[in-house]
Amino acid sequence: MSQWYPKKGRVIFHLDMNSFYASVEMAYNPKLKGKPVAIAGNPEQRKGIIVTSSYEARAKGVKTTMQLWQAKKLCPELIVLRPNFERYRTASKEMFKMLAEITPFVQPVSIDEGYMDITESEHHGTPIEIAQNLQKKIHHELDLPCSIGIAPNKFLAKMASDMKKPLGITILRKRDLSHKLWPLPIEEMYGVGEKTAEKLRAIDVKTIGDLAKGDVYQLKRVLGINGERLKNRANGIDTRPVDPEAIHEFKSIGSSQTLPEDTTNEAEIRNLMHQLTDNVERRMKRKQAAGRSVQIMIRYYDHKTITRSKKLQGYIDKKEDILHIANELFQKHWNLDPIRLLGITVQDVDEKQNIAKQLDLFTYEEEAGKEKLYAVIDELSQKYGKNPFKQLQNEDKGEQPRTSFQKDFLDDYKR
């Protein structure tokens, strides 16, 4: 068995759930199996944006982020569902529990993917046996397909898991790079976005192999320090460990939402800002964190996007403080054009236990007084389900569905 496990290196898995939201819906309702299914952020408003789709829908040209009307034109029989995040979160939790049964070295990176370091798990079998058994277990018990990449590091494992979908298992060793990885177009490399790919093509780097053999000084001139990092990755070099605690490292906590219609209505904008700061405060409270910088993002009707931020002298974590700064930034930088999307983010975030805040006597007394009020509000909120002091806004409109997840639940599988 030990011949399958290196004496010095690591054996890393990257597990990627296939068409996750759509697959969960099919597991929940088997009548959907084999049919073109799409999850759309909000089918009633903006005609919806495709969040994900089944492989049957993809075969007809349906893609993530495509507008729903375009998708239906390509695939008239498309079955469109609204996202059910609680359902996806439950499935994710059960999946990560299965990973944790094999090794404690599990690093979730999103709701539907994560890394495992199985170097010390040889009692479970060879790497390929572990991958096959895990894939079968997830498929049998959760009725969900996944692909697994097996490699000596995280980057290669991630690239490997993308090579065969659905239900693929791919091994990518360093000796395989020249024929499996290097011929791929540069934009297929993990970590290379559209803009980076454009810059690389401009210096005649068209494949991952071109990048691997590229001149490091030229790459650094075009991409900065990231140029050298990407060249190393293309050569199969990645020293990052699988870190189960990485999900607790966060520098910012934010919330953004698309408006039902492009608007210049200040009352609508103000209501949305209240909702966004509510979300941010709730997530900061969950993480017992505070931050010292506030950023707003404004996306206009023509998709032009601006971000503006303000650095503060002290840390904040309360809604009214966040909202005050966000509103100040908004009033200063909004050009009065119709707004499509708003985002509010608290940056330079740290856990309160790490923040050594020097309180003078007056600040201390002021904050100590507030804490009693906050304690009473929390007690009433637990009893009645919501903060009784908050004004109820847009109750008749209902909660806007979200199309993305915060990562503050990714350690639920440990509980």
Contacts of 335 (CB under 8 A, 6+ apart): 300
Q: Residue 388 and residue 272: Cα distance in Å, rounded? A: 19
Q: Is position 215 annotated in a ligand binding site?
A: no
Q: Would residue 94 show up in a list of annotated catalytic residues for this protein?
A: no
Residue 170 three-state SS? strand
Q: Residue 115 and residue 379: Cα distance in Å, rounded? A: 39
Contacts of 150 (CB under 8 A, 6+ apart): 11, 12, 13, 127, 128, 131, 157, 160, 169, 170, 171, 172
- How far does Cα 34 stand from its chain's mean position? 28
Contacts of 267 (CB under 8 A, 6+ apart): none
> Residues 257, 261, 263, 267: is their CA dihedral positive or negative?
negative
Q: Which of 86, 94, 101, 113 does the annotation list as catalytic? A: 113
**Residues 414, 94 contacting (CB under 8 angstroms):** no
What secondary structure does DSSP assign to 21-52, as a single string?
HHHHHHHH-GGGTTS-EEEES-TTSTT-BEEE
- Amino acid identity of residue 117, one-letter, is D
Which H/E stretch holds residue 233? Answer: helix 225-234
Q: Is position 112 annotated in a ligand binding site?
A: yes
**Residues 53, 37 contacting (CB under 8 angstroms):** yes
Query: What is the token pair recorded at 223?
Result: 């991409």
Contacts of 361 (CB under 8 A, 6+ apart): none
Residue 407 three-state SS? coil
Binding site for Mg(2+): what residues are annotated? Answer: 16, 112
Binding site: what residues are annotated? Answer: 16, 112
State the catalytic residues: 113
